[in-house]
Amino acid sequence: MAGDIDYMLRVVVANMAAYDEFYKRLISITPLRNVVSRFAMERIKATTALPFPDQVEQAARKSRIAEAAAI
């Protein structure tokens, strides 16, 4: 990563109390400065997997059809 961030951790915990426990344990074993926390209120997407090839082909086919219809 470039910029001001040196490390980014994605931590999944059950609730804020669990996050607080995690954070306290982390800072007890590692000297940290300028810690920033951001929290997601809900999960929109649970995977980082790329689309399957047939889904990509279907999208390309729809795009070609739309382009042809616009001509």
CA distance 69 to 2: 43
Give residue-wise pLDDT tens across range 10-40: 888 888 999 999 999 998 998 888 888 888 8
Arithmetic mean of pLDDT over the chain: 83
pTM: 0.51
